Amino acid sequence: MRDGCIRWDPIRGREVSPRQSLSPYRERELRSLSVYLHMRIAEYLSKDLPYKLSPDNVFVTNASSNLEVRHFDLLPERGWEADLEAVEAIADENTVALVIVNPGNPCGNVCSYQHLEKVAKTAKKLGIMVISDEVFSHLIFGSKPFVPMGVFGSTVPVLTLGSLSKRWLVPGWRLGWFVVNDPTGILKETKVFDSIKGCLHAFSDPSTFVQGAIPYILQKTEEDFFRDIISVLKQNSKVCYNKINEMQCITYPHKSEGSPYAMLN
């Protein structure tokens, strides 16, 4: 290969210019970092699931992409649960996924096990997968536990989105992941898994320094760190709820149970 040629980069899965290319030593180093990183993320998420995720099901990202989006309502009188009848009404043969955000931005809601089960059954009925944005996972302070949508991976395939930015308070680090929860192998069988892998070139990689820190962060963060954050969120949410209830012109239909958000009317 001559200098100045575009070359295939096996780590990035795409062509790179000479400036972006890596020496064989650097490639080996990065590949083993990447395998280690995927193992640690799979291990971290498997703690909350009834099955074990494989590192091959983990994709590390720092960006997003473009699709047609159809909106459905969340219902304040039902604690901001998704209006699943509306989901059925707007889905058609081109629909590929139902997206939920749990814990919720912007409503501060936390989905119950029962509601997530209904979400899974609705998606199964429509023949689509669920994309569950769980970047606020575990940031909860109400009566409901956090239940990962991946718990229903045997009912319907689930893509879970996660990020360092919220639970660890490092938004500038730009490292997230999406994980395929597909214990029955539907996405592999139907080649959707391969398409997901094929789209990875649309994302740029997170900084390697941050990738290198992830295994340590996931394994070594002390429980006190999380407890302190939740205590501040809980306190702020209480002050917000009490103050807003003193106001005449605004209502607060459902008290926040997680995330730093509250939805007012």
Angle 208-220/24-46 helices, nearest 10 degrees?
A: 30
Residues contacting ligand PLP: total by CB under 6 A:
8
Task: Please give the residues from 23 up to 62 whose contact with ligand PLP meets the rule CB under 6 A.
Answer: none
**Residue 170 to residues 63, 130, 176, 210, 217, Cα–Cα distance (Å):** 16, 27, 11, 11, 11
Q: How far is the CB of 101 from ligand PLP (least distance, A)?
A: 5
**Residue 218 to residues 25, 37, 38, 55, Cα–Cα distance (Å):** 27, 10, 11, 15
Residue 134 lies near ligand PLP (rule: CB under 6 A): no
Give CB contacts under 8 A, 24+ apart, made by 70-77.
70/95, 74/104, 74/107, 74/109, 76/107, 76/253, 76/254, 76/263, 76/265, 77/253
Q: How far is the CB of 117 from ligand PLP (least distance, A)?
A: 22
Residue 163 lies near ligand PLP (rule: CB under 6 A): yes
Tell me which residue of 163, 167, 172, 156 sits closest to 226, measured CA to CA: 167
Residue 204 lies near ligand PLP (rule: CB under 6 A): no
| DSSP 3-state of 130 | strand
Q: How far is the CB of 6 from ligand PLP (least distance, A)?
A: 30
Residue 135 lies near ligand PLP (rule: CB under 6 A): yes
Return the residue of 10, 127, 145, 171 that touches ligand PLP, per CB under 6 A.
Answer: 171
Tell me which residue of 110, 99, 172 sits closest to 139, measured CA to CA: 110
Residue 176 lies near ligand PLP (rule: CB under 6 A): yes
The phi and psi torsions of 163 (rounded to 5 degrees) equal: -160, 155
Q: How far is the CB of 25 from ligand PLP (least distance, A)?
A: 31
Q: How far is the CB of 74 from ligand PLP (least distance, A)?
A: 13
- Identity of the residue, 5 or 63, whose beta carbon is nearer to ligand PLP in the bound complex: 63
Segment interacting with ligand PLP (CB under 6 A) among 149-157, 163-171, 215-223, 241-249: 163-171
Task: Please give the residues from 76 up to 105 whose contact with ligand PLP meets the rule CB under 6 A.
Answer: 101, 105
Residue 165 lies near ligand PLP (rule: CB under 6 A): yes
Q: Which residue has its beta carbon closest to ligand PLP?
A: 163
Binding region for ligand PLP (CB under 6 A): 101, 105, 133, 135, 163, 165, 171, 176
